[in-house]
A and B are shown apart, each in its own frame.
Chain A
Amino acid sequence: MKINLKILSILLLICGFGATGQIKIGDTIPVKKLEYGVDNQINFNQFKGKYVLVDFWASWCGPCRLGNKKLVKLHAELNPNLIEIVGISLDTDANKWKKAIERDKIKFAQFNDPHGFDAETALLFGVDELPTQFLFNRKGELIIKNPTEEEIINLIKK
């Protein structure tokens, strides 16, 4: 019986995790501060009052690397007082992550959650494929999932 209870609680835990799912429109940023070592941190509180675009990617993900190029261009065009771009990489190898940042000439904020799809941030946001982007408004509420460049630009211009 004891064992059964244990199994049941483990099952419940797993189901609980599964039930978190993907964040929905209107939900607030599911995490305030990301920290993994000294030089790998991001504090979402510092972006208060700005739009925030969170981009999940990985160095080995071809479509993400193409996306990086577009994001770098977009980042240079956008007013940094209005919007912040935050890249979250799921690379398990931090060196490959750093190399990719260098190669893609990324200047916006970056965080590495080194556990692939099992990474805590991936679970919190409900990321099941790469790339995935989330655009939050000035209040930190999710307004668009996987926005187009146009959508972002139009919103900032408003």
Chain B
Amino acid sequence: MKFFNITYIVLGVIAIFSSNKVNAQISKAEIRATGLTCSMCSNAINKQLKSLPEVVNVETDLNTNTFVVSLAEGNALTPLIFKQKVEKAGFFIGSLIVTVDSETVMKNPYIIVKDSGNKPKQIQVQVLDKGFVTEKEFKKLVKSYKSVATFISNNEDDFHVKILN
């Protein structure tokens, strides 16, 4: 019996890992950070992002106050990690736009709340959940999507997205 339990656990873990690999292929993340001080004037966010082994490169766009993060192929990251890293650096996310393949975004953990109708291979989506937009924007979004039960429940493990392209 014990043996079976272990086998199931191992199989379960393998399944989770392999499904994650297929599920969440973010190739690029564009993060606009906000906070009480000038986010670009601090190296903290940059350092936090670069500490992730999946991060290939971080560029800063000084005109838009955006961190452009390139990620390694086949990574298993979800948008949550960017929120955690930015907050660890002492800032907040003002907006997060990720580039993902369209197949990924059709599945868990993504929930499309606003579609553009187009389906290119690589799509850009903005994450709309709490902590991924400004407080003010989130209040507006709650009104717009009050009928979407998962959006209102603020679950950290699903991501409500708006397709941009």
Residue among A60, A117, A130 making CB contact with B46, cutoff 8 Å: A117
Residue among A63, A64, A129, A131 making CB contact with B43, cutoff 8 Å: A129
Residue pair A129, B60 in contact (C-beta under 8 Å): no
Please, how many angstroms separate the alpha-carbon atoms of A60 and B64 in the complex? 11
Residue pair A60, B43 in contact (C-beta under 8 Å): no
Is residue A128 contacting chain B, with contact meaning CB distance below 8 A?
A: yes
User: What is the number of residues of chain A that contact chain B, defined by CB distance less than 8 Å?
Assistant: 13
CB contacts (< 8 Å) of B46 on chain A: these are: 117
**Looking at B40, B41, B62, which has the most chain A CB atoms within 10 Å of its CB?**
B41
Is residue B112 contacting chain A, with contact meaning CB distance below 8 A?
A: no
Residue pair A128, B43 in contact (C-beta under 8 Å): yes
A63-B40 contact, Cβ under 8 Å, with A116-B60, A117-B46: no
Considering only residues 1-49 of chain B, those with a C-beta below 8 Å from chain A are 37-38, 40-44, 46-47
Please, how many angstroms separate the alpha-carbon atoms of A67 and B38 in the complex? 14
Q: Mark B106-149, 1 if CB is under 8 A from A, else 0.
A: 00000000000000000000000000000000000000000000
Distance in angstroms from A123 CB to nearest chain B CB is 10
Residue among B44, B60, B62 making CB contact with A128, cutoff 8 Å: B44
16 contacts between A and B (CB under 8 A): A60-B40, A60-B62, A61-B40, A61-B41, A62-B38, A62-B41, A63-B38, A128-B43, A128-B44, A128-B47, A129-B41, A129-B43, A129-B44, A130-B38, A130-B42, A131-B41
